[in-house]
Amino acid sequence: MARPKEFDREEAVAQAMQVFWEQGYEATSIQDLTRALGLKPGSLYNAFHDKHSLFLETLACYQQQHSCDTYALLQGPLAGKQALELVFEQLVARASQPNTPGCFMVNSAAELAAHDPQVRAQVEADRTALIAAFEHSIRAGQAAGDIPHERDPYALATFLVNAIFGFQVTAKVSREPTTLRLIAETTLRALD
């Protein structure tokens, strides 16, 4: 007799993240989640308690899988202006792809942060970590002489992260690479 497939929580959270990412929180039903995860409603509730708890896990999963790559780039050996430019190049490349669902963190902030304190706290934690990573890269660029020393690294980092959030919203309306590249290039001029 075949053994039942073991429940893999990480895989289930990753699959749920895709559903929430493509549809949004409100538009995703328990039926959508059970179908995607291959679970019965009772099993889903036993594993995750409720839709909201599962959603919060998916935000944490997104931060680990996607945001950490950006943090590593900004704090790694390329830290400085080159890393900042590369982050924006990657942003344009991803946003230009057809059918991309955008940034899950920004989508969640736009949909839920105004009225969901737990989502707001997770988005703010991600934003704070991103600002710190940008600030690190800006300081490295200043030490290398690529970014003027008189610029306030924290203010510049906060501006760039805000620009990325706005960029992500714009990319949901227009995926035209020329427009997205123009926005990125104009934003990066703040480093001069």
Q: Phi/psi zone of residue 80: left (φ > 0), alpha (ψ -120 to 50 degrees), beta?
A: left
Inside any domain, residue 129: yes
Q: Which domain holds residue 117?
A: 60-191
Inside any domain, residue 23: no
CA atoms of 52 and 69, how far apart (whole Å): 26
Reported pTM: 0.87
Query: Stretch 64-87: mean pLDDT, rounded?
Result: 88
CA atoms of 73 and 170, how far apart (whole Å): 24
Percent of the chain beyond pLDDT 90? 71
Inside any domain, residue 69: yes
The pLDDT, as a whole number, for residue 172 is 86
Q: Which two tokens stand for residue 167?
A: 């960029």
Instruction: Specify whether the CB–CB gap between 184 and 91 falls below 8 A.
Output: yes
Inside any domain, residue 43: no
**Domains held by the chain: number:** 1
Closest-CA residue to 91 (of 101, 99, 103): 103
CA atoms of 96 and 100, how far apart (whole Å): 8
Average pLDDT, the chain: 91
Inside any domain, residue 8: no
* Amino acid letter for position 74: L
Kindly report the CATH number assigned to the domain that includes residue 75: 1.10.357.10
| pLDDT tens digits along 100-129 | 888 899 999 999 999 999 999 999 999 999
| pLDDT tens digits along 81-99 | 999 999 999 999 989 888 8
The pLDDT, as a whole number, for residue 117 is 97
